[in-house]
């Protein structure tokens, strides 16, 4: 189901994602000693932070490229979570 989000709402969500990326930056990497959920969240935020910045600046981004960045997380963390998310988000 598609929802209409106005630009102020999109900017708020994008700013929140960017702040989450900053907070979770110590958990980026393939050999970090932390819960997998925290590592996955850190990599998701990192994968999409440039897209979040584009939205906060009133721009747009390439959805396909963003989803490819998310897909790459599975190879870094040796999990299958990103593929599941990409499948959901690409609907």
How do residues 70-91 score in pLDDT, each as one tens digit?
A: 999 999 999 999 999 999 998 8
Mean of the pLDDT values across residues 16-37? 94
pLDDT, average across residues 53-64:
89
Percent of the chain with pLDDT over 90: 70
Q: What is the largest CA-CA distance in the chain?
A: 39
DSSP string, 64-77: HHHHHHHHTHHHHH
Q: How confident is the model at residue 45 (pLDDT cuts 50, 70, 90)?
A: very high
């Amino acid at each position: 189901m598609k929802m209409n989000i106005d630009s102020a709402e999109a900017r708020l969500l994008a700013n929140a994602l960017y702040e989450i990326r900053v907070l979770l930056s110590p958990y980026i990497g393939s050999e970090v000693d932390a819960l997998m959920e925290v590592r996955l969240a850190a990599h998701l935020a990192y994968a999409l932070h440039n897209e979040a910045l584009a939205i906060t600046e009133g721009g747009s981004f390439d959805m396909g490229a963003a989803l490819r960045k998310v897909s790459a997380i599975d190879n870094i963390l040796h999990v299958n979570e990103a593929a599941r998310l990409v499948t959901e988000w690409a609907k």
